[in-house]
Structure 1
Amino acid sequence: MGWKVRAIRGATTASENSVEAIREAVTELLDALESLNPIDPDDIVSATFSVTRDLDAVFPAAIARERPHWQNVPLLDVQQMHVEGSLERCIRCLIQINTLEPLTAIHHPYLRQAKALRPDWSIATAPFSP
């Protein structure tokens, strides 16, 4: 099996719309993504963060850019489409990466209240601790 571009997804929620709360949530999510998947920042094609409209204190990409070796990763922030009754203060991440790993080896962490978004994935029900 050769190199493929794979997508790794994850989501979490922030406790409030503050720089500190968003930083904590994004850091926890990226820690989970990196600990559960063999991510080398040099192999990342791009990463997109989406946030619900109630989060605007800081860009998640700015937090990701502070991580070791993430300075040259192409990052993008977007606002998630609003759907009445949807999960509030939600941060989603989609990382596209060049990897040798098969799809079955990719883990998509859904943390905090975002666990409810994908209850069908077993990782979504397991607590994360670095």
Structure 2
Amino acid sequence: MTRGVRGATTIQENNAEEIVLRTEELVKAMVEQNNIKSDDVSHVFISVTKDVTDGFPAKALRKIDDSWKYVPVMCMTEIDVPDSLAKCIRVMMVIRTDKTQQEINHVFHNNAVKLRPDLLQKDGE
């Protein structure tokens, strides 16, 4: 079975170092919370808001370990909706898993916790 694992974060400044750092933190948390191995990842889509332009967030996956260099990753621009969350990086990771939809832990960092508070993992769960 394939499932999507969703994640999102925000940056303070539009610079390549922070873009890669925040994306790396997010993806590592997604991997850890869902016990994901790179061989179980079909592909990863990363979207950014129009104000994130100074670097490729996909570079973060290459920093995890050598096995991630084979995972297909694509970056794109998020649709520009008025009053939407600024400086946001969203990740959709498609994985092979036996988990149900409800067992997937979606991860939201920084200001992105506002996006889907209903999906945030509760303490003690």
Asked if Structure 1 and Structure 2 have the same fold, meaning a TM-score greater than 0.5 normalized by the shorter chain, the answer is yes
The question of whether the paired residues in 1 share the 8 Å contact of 2:48 and 2:88 is answered with yes
Say yes or no: does 1:78 pair with 2:73.
no
Structure 2 residue corresponding to 1:65, chosen from 51, 62, 67: 62
Structure 1 residue corresponding to 2:106, chosen from 97, 105, 108: 108
Distance 1:37 1:85 in 2: 31
Instruction: Report the CA distance between 1:55 and its aligned residue.
Output: 0.6
Structure 1 unaligned blocks of 5 or more: none
The question of whether the paired residues in 1 share the 8 Å contact of 2:20 and 2:58 is answered with no
Structure 2 unaligned blocks of 5 or more: none
When normalised by structure 1's length, the TM-score is 0.88
Structure 2 residue corresponding to 1:24, chosen from 21, 32, 39: 21
Structure 1 residue corresponding to 2:39, chosen from 37, 42, 46: 42
| Secondary structure of the corresponding residue to residue 70 of structure 2 | coil
Distance 2:77 2:119 in 1: 24
**Structure 1 segments of 4 or more deviating over 6 A?**
none
Distance 1:26 1:61 in 2: 8
Structure 1 residue corresponding to 2:9, chosen from 9, 12, 37: 12
When normalised by structure 2's length, the TM-score is 0.92
How many aligned positions are there?
A: 122
Instruction: Report the CA distance between 1:65 and its aligned residue.
Output: 2.2
The question of whether the paired residues in 1 share the 8 Å contact of 2:107 and 2:120 is answered with no
